[in-house]
Structure 1
Amino acid sequence: MVLKKLARQMALSVTCVAGTLLPAQALAADLDLSGKTVEWVIPFSETGGSAKWANFYAPLLSEALPGQPTVVVKFMPGAGSTKGANWFQNQKFGDSEGTVIFGSSGSTQFPYLLGDPRVRYDYKDWNVVLASGTGGVAYLPPDLAAKMSGNDAGALKETDFIYGSQGATRLDLVPLLAWEMLGLNVEPVFGIKGRGDGRLMFERGEANIDYQTSSSYLKGVTPLVEAGTAVPMMSWGALDSDGNIVRDPTFPDMPTFKEVCEATEGCETSGEKWDAWKAFFIAGFPAQKMVFLPNGATQDAIDTYSKAFEAVKARGDFAEISAGRLGKYPQMTGAEADAALKSATEVPASAKEFVVGWLQERYGVSLK
Structure 2
Amino acid sequence: MKILHTADWHIGKTLNGQSLIEDQKYILNQIYEAIKEQQPDLVVISGDLYDLHYPNKEAMVVLEDALSTINLELNIPIIAISGNHDGKERLNYGEKWFEKSGLKIVTGYEHLLTPIRINDINFYIMPYFTPADVRQMFKVKGIHTHQEATEFLMNEIEAVINKDETNVLVGHLFVAGGASTDSERPLSIGTIETVTAQTFQSFDAVLLGHLHHPFAIQSDYIFYAGTPMQYSFSEANQAKGYRLFDIENKRVKQSFIPLQPLRSFQVIQASYEDVIHEKVTIQNKEDYFHFKLTEMDRITDPLMKLRSIYPNTLQISRQDFEVEHDEINVDVHALSDIEIVDAFYTHVTEEPLDGVKREKVVQLLEAQLNQGADE
TM-score category, normalised to shorter length: under 0.3
TM-score, with length taken from structure 1: 0.24
Structure 1 or 2: larger strand share? 2
Provide the TM-score with structure 2 as the length reference: 0.24
Q: Work out which structure has the larger RCO, using CA pairs closer than 8 Å and 6 or more positions apart in sequence.
A: 1
Higher helix share: 1
